[in-house]
Amino acid sequence: MRVVVTGGAGFVGSHLCEILLRRGDDVVCVDNLSTGRAENIAALSDQRGFTFLRADVSDGFDVPGPVDAVAHLASPASPADYHKFPLQTLAVGSRGTEHALVLARRHEARFVLASTSEVYGDPQVHPQPEEYWGHVNPVGPRSVYDEAKRYAEAVTTAYARHSGVNTGIVRIFNTYGPRLRPHDGRVVSSFIRQALGGEALTIYGDGLQTRSFCFVDDLVRGIVAMLDCREPGPVNLGNPDERTVVELAELVLRITGSRSPVQSLPLPTDDPVRRCPVIVKALERLAWKPEIDLEEGLRATVSWFRSYGVEPAAAAGQAR
């Protein structure tokens, strides 16, 4: 296939571009590099079948030549990014999604939306099945991301119902792995950076809130499976191995060998207390389930952070 990947220079997008090229697909990576990084795709630039198009999908874009599938991943995804770019986050979830859908409709291509577990908000149903409609504060500080993705799901579904576009929606749960930016504010990258830098690991609230961490290689296998079928979704993609934030901190300290202390800070507004996917649909319809356990994935991630040359957070002006 010839696959357009919006947000292809980002953390997840670059891994998706890589696996598609590896299996023989042509890839057009579209990214404005606002949160994506050119270095994420530097190793792909000379590969046959890879094209990079620097563009902001919110402003509209076109891809010359055939298009067989569109994977729409473009969006700020970490709290640090969507708080820094609130209007851009809303724009890429709305206008950006529609522009990507128009491209898919024009080429009669498969369209897959990378949505998020954030559509469930601070859930009142646990674990979260796809049938759950969520518990989201539409005017809270996280709403620019949560509601952008909820709207993206709505417009994707509308194009499927009324324009006949072959669409699929995946809801991505917490993902980690190589190419996480050290200062992006996600809990895994923050803990690893702090542990390697000898800083206190910052835990918000009592640390008993839970997350389900999926290694990026597992996640992109699920996205590829969604690209290869006609399943409309939404389908949860995540690891149902639920862990507390305290457990994650203890594991990071053990893997890194760090003696960093743990520091507690107030819980941010609307921070979800529990998050864990039901993945029955992914197993039945995509033949997908995660294969890499948390310790194995964290060891690979820590190794990448070390090879990346992570500086102590204090030196980067991030000491707390």
Catalytic residue list: 145
CA 46 to chain centre: 25
Rounded CA gap, 29 and 52, in Å?
Answer: 5
Cα–Cα separations (whole angstroms), residue 194 to 18, 180, 186, 211, 308:
29, 14, 12, 19, 14
Longest CA–CA span in the chain (Å) reads 57
The Cα 265–Cα 206 span in angstroms is 9
Indicate left, alpha or beta for 277 from its phi (over 0: left) and psi (-120 to 50: alpha). beta
CA gap 181, 176 in Å, rounded: 10
d(CA 170, CA 288): 12
Radius of gyration of the chain (CA): 19
Helical spans, DSSP H, in the chain: 11-22, 79-84, 86-91, 97-107, 143-163, 187-196, 216-227, 245-256, 280-286, 294-308
